Amino acid sequence: MTGKRSKAATDQVQRRRQWLPDLRLALQNLGARKLRSFLTMLGMIFGVAAVVSMLSIGAGAQQQVLAFIEQLGVNNLIVEAKTITGTEEILAIRKISPGLSFKDLRMIRANMGDLSLSTPRKRYTPNSMLPKPNQDMPEIYGVGPEYLNITGLKVVSGRYFYPEDNDGRMPVCVLGEGARANLFPQQEAVGQYIKINEQWFRIIGILGPQLAAPSDVAGLRAGDLNNIIYTPIHSLLYRLEVPNSILLDEIDGIYLQVKSSINPSVAADVVRSLLNVSHRNANDFSLVVPAELLAERKRTQRIFEMVMGAIASISLLVGGIGIMNIMLASILERTHEIGVRRAVGARKRDILRQFLIEAVFISFVGGLLGVGCGFGLSRLVAMMAGWSTIVTLNSILLAFLVSVSVGLIFGIYPAAKAARLDPVDALRYE
């Protein structure tokens, strides 16, 4: 048994000794033709750089969308009233449907026992505000106390409003991070007062930053979710809406959180059916299911990565053809050298190994340089275009492994051709 182990170790040492001289010889041959070796590497460098940079741009865009969808909450359902601008269209729809209202929320609560939290939402755009905003006018969100837990928002200063604040229609509000910077850029905001139209509200808390809504998330309005002022919905209706207005019962959003044991898609079907009955199929609302959006986005991301991988393979294929072309030309130039090596005792596999090492080395170094160029190109795109780019380990490994594999595959034929050369004919070649 000990003899077998000793023999295996000896064979391993011999194989290593056989590889080292061939590696040195391959490096010497590539070093003697530096410019040609570098030009051959360019195909691999550009191919790998294209793969890394393209995948980083796609990964950055996808991660931003996925993070926003996760921020919505995978156990949540969001009902959004569709924005209707034309007067005639509004009148036509109102003949069929009363629009999204507190009545719908009460109906959903009464018919769904699987809800853990729910709240209405009412948007309001003020005409004036003090202190005067430095940038865009913040939007007012009238929501219930449950909104904080449903959306997962964090209070970084002060507190959120209590159910008592909502029931008592108290003039209190909580600022988003953007609204705080917009209204009170250089001072503490908690405890200050802001005047919205003709009503004064006391600031009781500041929320942490939120991700912006990407424009391509279906059913959701794109906008800055940080430049928002939150107030109890009863306070908004009582203090900012016109008294006795027919719009007092109308809302533009409902946030629902189902229990973790319930499939959000099943719950969404129930909510959609209830609202379709209530709205007489007027199609004046949209139902956003973050769990479904998240699953769809992940499927899209996988498809995107496969497509990018295919495009990258084509780029690297061109580089591999370049390696094969140069290796075949190198064999013609070094036919006499091959004959000399065969004459002094080199075997076919030694010649095969030498040329295969050269091809793999070109693709290996080209892959390393390509990864560096791709990372730099990704950073440049992020700086120049303002896009979010992420260089992932998977993209680097994919590009690099394909690069080395291409060098290996396209180096086999030239190496085999060199190994099959007849020593006598090779020595006579001029």
**Cβ-Cβ contacts under 8 Å for 388 (sequence gap 6 or more):** 60, 61, 63, 64, 382
Residue type (1 letter), 78: I
For 231, phi then psi, to 5°, come to -140, 155
Closest CA to 318 of 104, 7, 50: 50
CB 43 within 8 A of CB 369: no
pTM of the model: 0.69
Q: How many CA atoms lie within 13 A of 230 on its CB side?
A: 29
pLDDT means over runs of 10, the chain (430 residues): 52 57 72 77 82 79 74 87 74 80 92 90 91 91 94 92 94 94 90 93 94 64 83 91 62 91 90 90 86 79 74 73 81 78 77 81 86 86 77 78 81 80 67
SS3 readout for the chain: CHHHHHHHHHHHHHHHHHHHHHHHHHHHHHHHCHHHHHHHHHHHHHHHHHHHHHHHHHHHHHHHHHHHHHHHCCCEEEEEECCCCCHHHHHHHHCCCCCCEHHHHHHHHHHCCCEEEEEEEEEECCCCEECCCCCCCCEEEEECCCHHHHHCCCEEEECCCCHHHHHCCCCEEEECHHHHHHHCCCCCCCCCEEEECCEEEEEEEEECCCCCECCCCCCCCCECCCCEEEEEHHHHHHHCCCCCCCCCCECCEEEEEECCCCCHHHHHHHHHHHHHHHCCCCCCEEEECHHHHHHHHHHHHHHHHHHHHHHHHHHHHHHHHHHHHHHHHHHHHCHHHHHHHHHCCCCHHHHHHHHHHHHHHHHHHHHHHHHHHHHHHHHHHHHHHCCCCCCCHHHHHHHHHHHHHHHHHHHHHHHHHHHCCCHHHHHHCC
Tell whether the torsion through CA atoms of 367, 373, 377 and 380 is positive or negative: positive
**pLDDT for res 412:** 82
CB 62 within 8 A of CB 388: no
Distance CA 323, CA 366 (A): 11
CB 421 within 8 A of CB 332: no
**pLDDT for res 17:** 58
- Burial bucket for residue 98 (CB in 10 Å: 0-12, 13-18, 19+): middle
CB 36 within 8 A of CB 326: yes
**pLDDT for res 368:** 87
Distance CA 23, CA 29 (A): 10
- Rounded to a whole number of angstroms, the CA Rg of the chain reads 34
Closest CA to 142 of 234, 215, 70: 234
**pLDDT for res 187:** 86
The tens digit of pLDDT for each residue in 171-204 reads 999 999 999 999 998 889 999 999 999 899 999 9
CA 292 distance to own-chain centroid? 16
CB 324 within 8 A of CB 118: no
